[in-house]
Amino acid sequence: MHNVLILGGSGLVGKAIIRELDKYREFQIYATYFKSPLPFNQDRIFKLNIEDSANISSILNTLKPQSVISCLSGDYNKQLILHTKIAEHLKETEGRLYFFSTLNVFDNDLSKYHYEHDLPDSCTDYGQYKIACENRMIEILHDNVCILRLPQVWGKDSPRMKYLLNSLINNEEIVVYPKLLYNANTDFLIAKQLYYIIENKLKGIFHLGAEDVVNHKGFYNELILGLGFNNARIQENFEEEGYFALLSERHDEFPGRLRLMNKSVISYLIN
C-alpha cells in the first residue's frame, strides 16, 4: 500500500486530488486541514497548524508516507520552514514530494509566456516565497521532488466561480483585461494529471495549463455567455497587459485525455 499525505486537503485542488486518488486501491490517502474539516474518512484526516513545528513531525512519523502532495496556503515564512522539515524527512525515508507552485514565480516579467526551463523571477512576496520553496525542495530532495506550476485554476465550486456567479446574479461589474493574454486549468484535470505523474514516476518541473493562450476578456466573455448571462456589466481594465500564462514543453508526455485548451476549461464550467 502506497501511503499518500495531501497537505491542504480542504482547498480547491486538494479536495480534487483526494477524490481522484481515493479511486485507486494502491493508495491509502491521508489529508490535512486547518480551518475547514474534510468530508472524508475521519481516521485519515489531521488538523495541521503550520505554526506548530512539532505538528507536522508527529503526522509524518505516524503515517510514514511514501509521497507527500503539498497544496498548502498560509504564512510564507512558516510554510518555508514546514516544507523544509517535510523535505528533510522524505530525504531520510526516500519518499517523494509533489509541490504545487504557481505562475507567479514569473510575475516580474509578463512580456512573454514562460516554459519549464525559464528562470523564475518574481516581484511579489507570493512569487518570491514559491521560488524560495522550489529551490529549497530541489536542493534537499533532488529528483525526489516534482514541481507542479499552475496558472489560474477554475472549478465548478471554486471561490473564483462562486464570485463570478454572485457578481452576475447581482448585476455587478465584472473586470476584464483586454490587453492580457492568459491560460487556465481546472481542479478536475489537475488531479488526473497528478495521478498520471505519480503512476508513471515522472520527474522534474511541469507547467500544468491549457496548451493555448487566449485573451482574458475573450475568455470571460465566452464563459459568461455560456453561463446564460447576455447582459453582463463588463468593465475593461487596460492597465494590466502582457502574458499571464504558463506553457509547457512536456505536453507530449501526457495522453490526449489529459491535455486541454482554454475552451475545455469553459466547457467544463458551463456543463
Give the contacts of 261 (CB within 8 A, at least 6 positions apart). Answer: 210, 211, 212
Cβ atoms of 96 and 126 within 8 Å: the answer is no
User: Which three cell numbers, joined as nine digits, stand for 208?
Assistant: 500544468
Q: How many CB atoms lie within 10 A of CB 58?
A: 12
pLDDT digits (tens, 9 = 90+) for 100-146: 999 999 999 999 999 999 999 999 999 999 999 999 999 999 999 99
% residues pLDDT > 90 (the chain):
90
Q: What is the mean pLDDT of the chain?
A: 95
* 13-27: average pLDDT: 95
For residue 35, what pLDDT band results from cuts at 50, 70 and 90? confident
Q: Does pLDDT of 242 surpass 80? A: yes
Q: How many CB atoms lie within 10 A of CB 103?
A: 24
Domains of the chain: 2-152+184-207 (3.40.50.720), 154-183+210-270 (3.90.25)
Cβ atoms of 241 and 109 within 8 Å: the answer is no
Q: What is the pTM of this model?
A: 0.96
* 155-172: average pLDDT: 97
pLDDT digits (tens, 9 = 90+) for 57-80: 999 999 999 999 999 988 999 999
pLDDT of residue 60: 95
